[in-house]
Amino acid sequence: MALIVHKYGGTSMGSTERIRNVARRVAKWARAGRRMVVVPSAMSGETNRLLALAKELQPDLPDAASLREIDAIAATGEQVSVGLLALALHREGVPAVSYAGWQVPVQTDSAFGKARIGHIEGARVRADLDAGKVVIVTGFQGLDPQGNVTTLGRGGSDTSAVAVAAALGADECLIYTDVDGVYTTDPRIVPEARRLHTISFEEMLEMASLGSKVLQIRSVEFAGKYRVPTRVLSSFTPWDIPLDEEARSGTLITFEEDEKMEQAVVSGIAFNRDEAKITILGVPDKPGIAFQILGPVADANIDIDVIIQNVSRDGRTDFSFTVHRNDYARTMELLKGQVAPAIGATELLGDPKICKVSIVGIGMRSHVGVASRMFRTLSEEGINIQMISTSEIKTSVVIDEKYMELAVRALHKAFDLELDKAVGSV
């Protein structure tokens, strides 16, 4: 019998009526003979409510001791929702049992608030599945080696679901979300955007990391590492649509490259408008300089995205990178006060009004001219490219924020993404 993992977000669990519908959907799968594991999020708003209470009592920047408490508090949201879903299944006449992360256990490291999953012990869950029960496991949380409750950070339930699917060797992990799949780009910007029936793991990884917020990036990494067939599909379909139809809907993340099919050159256009650009001019070009600049930034817990350093002239070079826009002021201050004087840079420039637009496609590996087509398209629209960064399956450019929609639309058209021929598979 196929073993299936379902993951439901906070919106799907947002009220007792919605939880009842989740139970009915799960019951449909269980009655069709599937062995079912379900990973629900907390009821929508609940995690925020709990974190707000914590913040009221400890408004200071939390130290390790406080972070531990905040995790224990936040983790209760999912502990309530798994119990409620189990009760709703009982009411449907379906045997079901729920477990908190510590009960499975889902073992993690001790990085409170952003813990990483190590091992998941599957014995208890398997015994319940063998006994014919639906097993419900909390998302978002685990147990560290010292017996403390940890949380995985926002969106962590996606990762929990994929990790549980990997640990149990599930046949498929279905992530029910408020979108009905992965699109060639955001349909709010390009109405012709088309849903992909499949997307390769690598492409999905780039789409997720580039700001297409369908799945948490770590869940995609997990899916890739353990080759878990993972499907993104809509939670808004009626619970009683035929199971076959539901099982084929959404977008499936695949791991086998299908040789027989014409590989699309570009699968999608991703973008991110939450970035800011910082450039340090006249940096002495000598070993260790990148670390001298970025070390203090990383120490301040600021994530860095694109990093660009071009060849030097006259022993000096220009060094650019991007950070999240929320970290822009803090990063500039840090560089002005400490870093730039220390390394003897001549000037510090910053621009928070930029965005990043990327073309993503596994086909780029074997197709020359993809990047140049991208640059030509932007040039024809009169859009100046400020930075370029490439990987095997994506090409990203940093441009003025005001051109973002224009760039995305032009690229979507230039790479024929609105047409069926662009699809990896159907």
Binding residues for its own copies (CB under 8 A): 16, 19-20, 23, 50, 53-54, 56-60, 62-63, 65-66, 68-70, 72-73, 76, 79-80, 82-84, 86-88, 90-91, 95-98, 100, 102-103, 147-149
Question: Minimum CB separation from its own copies for residue 84, in Å?
Answer: 5
User: Residue 113 or residue 284: which is nearer to its own copies going by CB?
Assistant: 113
By C-alpha distance, which of 49, 132, 149 is closest to 94?
A: 132
Q: How far apart are CA 195 and CA 181, in angstroms?
A: 6
For residue 36, what are its two tokens? 């079912």
Q: Which residue has the tokens 């369908």?
A: 214
User: Residue 76 or residue 309: which is nearer to its own copies going by CB?
Assistant: 76
Question: Minimum CB separation from its own copies for residue 60, in Å?
Answer: 7
Question: Minimum CB separation from its own copies for residue 98, in Å?
Answer: 6
User: Residue 23 or residue 423: which is nearer to its own copies going by CB?
Assistant: 23
Supply the DSSP symbol for 313.
Answer: B
Q: How far apart are CA 210 and CA 219, in angstroms?
A: 15
| One-letter amino acid of 300 | A
Question: Minimum CB separation from its own copies for residue 304, in Å?
Answer: 30
Question: Minimum CB separation from its own copies for residue 239, in Å?
Answer: 15
Residue 322's SS3 state is strand
Question: Minimum CB separation from its own copies for residue 160, in Å?
Answer: 17
User: Residue 62 or residue 352: which is nearer to its own copies going by CB?
Assistant: 62
Question: Minimum CB separation from its own copies for residue 53, in Å?
Answer: 6
User: Residue 98 or residue 251: which is nearer to its own copies going by CB?
Assistant: 98
User: Residue 151 or residue 396: which is nearer to its own copies going by CB?
Assistant: 151
Say if residue 88 is exposed, middle or buried (CB neighbours under 10 Å; 0-12, 13-18, 19+): buried
Question: Minimum CB separation from its own copies for residue 137, in Å?
Answer: 12
User: Residue 65 or residue 311: which is nearer to its own copies going by CB?
Assistant: 65
Say if residue 142 is exposed, middle or buried (CB neighbours under 10 Å; 0-12, 13-18, 19+): buried
**66: Cβ contacts below 8 Å, ≥ 6 apart:** 58, 60
Q: How far apart are CA 287 and CA 268, in angstroms?
A: 37
For residue 145, what are its two tokens? 């080696």
User: Residue 10 or residue 424: which is nearer to its own copies going by CB?
Assistant: 10
Question: Minimum CB separation from its own copies for residue 155, in Å?
Answer: 21
For residue 176, what are its two tokens? 């029910």
CA 18 distance to own-chain centroid:
24
Question: Minimum CB separation from its own copies for residue 43, in Å?
Answer: 9
Q: What are phi and psi of 138, to 5 degrees?
A: -60, 140
Question: Minimum CB separation from its own copies for residue 118, in Å?
Answer: 19
Do 195 and 182 form a contact (C-beta atoms < 8 A)? Answer: yes
Q: Which residue has the tokens 């992965």?
A: 182
User: Residue 79 or residue 377: which is nearer to its own copies going by CB?
Assistant: 79
Q: How far apart are CA 8 and CA 29, in angstroms?
A: 14
Do 198 and 251 form a contact (C-beta atoms < 8 A)? Answer: yes
Q: How far apart are CA 41 and CA 13, in angstroms?
A: 7
For residue 200, what are its two tokens? 């390769």
Give the HSE-up count for residue 389: Cα atoms under 13 Å, Cβ half-sphere: 17
User: Residue 7 or residue 18: which is nearer to its own copies going by CB?
Assistant: 18
By C-alpha distance, which of 47, 161, 26, 36 is closest to 106?
A: 161
Q: Which residues of 125-138 are buried (b: 16+ CB within 10 A; e: fewer)?
A: bbebbeeebbbbbb
User: Residue 12 or residue 317: which is nearer to its own copies going by CB?
Assistant: 12
Report the DSSP beta bridge partners of residue 385.
399
